[in-house]
A and B are shown apart, each in its own frame.
Chain A
Amino acid sequence: MTVQPIDDYARDLNPEIRAAIHKATTGRVIQREKVLFSDFPHANQMRKWAGELKRHTMSHLNEYLEQAANKMESNGVQVHFASTPESARTQILDIFKSNGVTRFCKSKSMVTEELEVRPFLEEHGIEVWESDLGEFVVQLDNDRPSHIVTPIIHKNKRQVAETFKTHGLGEYTEDPQTLTRQARKFLREKYLSSTGTMTGANFVSAESGRIVVVTNEGNSRFGLAAAKVHIAVVGIEKLVPRDEDLTLFLNLLARSSTGQHLSVYTEFIGGPRSANQPEGPEQMHVVFIDNGRTEVLASDCREALHCIRCGACLNVCPVFRQASGFAYRHTYPGPIGAVLAPNLVGKAGFPELADLPKASSLCGACNEVCPVNIPIPDLLLRLRNRGKESGAPNSKIAAPPMGAWSSLASSPTAWNLALKGGHLMNVLPQRMIPVPAMQTWLKDRVLPDWQGGQFRKWMKNRASNKI
Chain B
Amino acid sequence: MSQDRRIIFQNIKSALDGVDKVARPQIDFSILVAEGKIDQADPWLDFKKTFESVRGVFCDSVEDLVAFIKNQNLTQGYCDPGLKECLGDPLSAYFTIEYEYPRERVNDLSFAITCGSHVIAETGTIVLKDHDSVNRLATVAPWLHIAAVETPNIHPTVRDALLAFGDDPNIVWVTGPSKTGDIEGILIEGVHGPGEQVCFRI
Contacts and interface: CB of A to CB of B under 8 A. Distances in A.
Interface of A: 20, 23-24, 27, 38-42, 46, 49, 52-53, 55-56, 58-62, 65-66, 75-76, 80-83, 87, 91, 131-134, 137, 150-152, 156-157, 160, 176-177, 179-181, 183-184, 187-188, 191-192, 208, 210, 216-219, 221-222, 224-226, 236, 241, 243-248, 250-251, 258, 260-274, 276-280, 288, 290, 294-295, 297-298, 302
B110 to A, nearest CB: 13
B70 interface: no
Contacts of B41: none
A152 B20 CA distance: 41
B183 A180 contact: yes
7 contacts: A39-B37, A81-B8, A180-B188, A219-B192, A248-B32, A251-B158, A279-B135
A216 B131 contact: no
Contacts of B37: 39
Interface of B: 1-2, 4-5, 7-9, 11-16, 19-25, 27, 29, 31-32, 34-35, 37, 54, 103, 106-107, 123, 125, 130-131, 134-137, 139-141, 158-159, 162-163, 165, 167-186, 188, 190-194
Contacts of B158: 247, 250-251, 262
A222 B130 contact: no
A263 B25 CA distance: 26
A295 B12 CA distance: 9
A62 B7 contact: no
A176 B130 contact: no
A268 B183 contact: no
Contact of B178 (A23, A76, A216): A216
Contacts of A24: 184-185
Contacts of B24: 53, 56, 241
A176 B186 contact: yes
Contacts of A66: 9
A221 B140 contact: yes
Nearest to A245: B27
Contacts of B107: 188
Contact of A61 (B16, B32, B131, B134): B16
A23 to B, nearest CB: 7
Contact of B16 (A27, A261, A297): A297
Given A40-B34, A188-B106, A251-B34, A216 B180 contact: yes
A83 B9 CA distance: 10
Contact of A46 (B32, B106, B134, B177): B32
A250 B183 CA distance: 25
Contact of B136 (A76, A251, A265, A273): A273
A157 B183 contact: yes
A151 B182 contact: yes
A305 B104 CA distance: 45
Contact of A150 (B13, B135, B176, B181): B181
Given A188-B141, A243-B165, A273-B169, 17 more contacts: A40-B35, A188-B192, A191-B192, A216-B191, A217-B178, A225-B137, A247-B162, A264-B174, A264-B179, A264-B193, A268-B171, A268-B173, A277-B170, A278-B135, A280-B130, A280-B170, A288-B8
B182 A297 contact: no
Nearest to B136: A225
Given A179-B183, A264-B179, A294 B12 contact: yes
Contacts of A60: 21
A298 B8 CA distance: 12
Contacts of B7: 83, 290
Contacts of B168: 270, 274
Contacts of A218: 140, 174, 178, 191-194
Contacts of A23: 185
Contacts of B16: 59, 61-62, 297
Contacts of B169: 75-76, 269-274
Contact of B170 (A150, A222, A224, A241): A224
Given A61-B12, A225-B141, A274-B131, A156 B159 contact: no
A62 B175 contact: no
A216 B179 CA distance: 5
Given A56-B22, A236-B8, A251-B32, A265 B182 contact: no
Contact of B182 (A150, A268, A277): A150
Nearest to B26: A49
Contacts of A87: 1, 4
Contacts of B23: 56
Given A24-B185, A65-B9, A91-B1, A221 B172 contact: yes
A245 B123 CA distance: 17
Contact of B165 (A20, A150, A210, A274): A210
A225 B140 contact: yes
A241 B75 CA distance: 47
A208 B165 contact: yes
Contacts of A298: 11, 14-15
B161 to A, nearest CB: 9
Contacts of A157: 183-184, 186
B192 A261 contact: no
Given A150-B181, A180-B180, A183-B191, A262 B35 contact: no
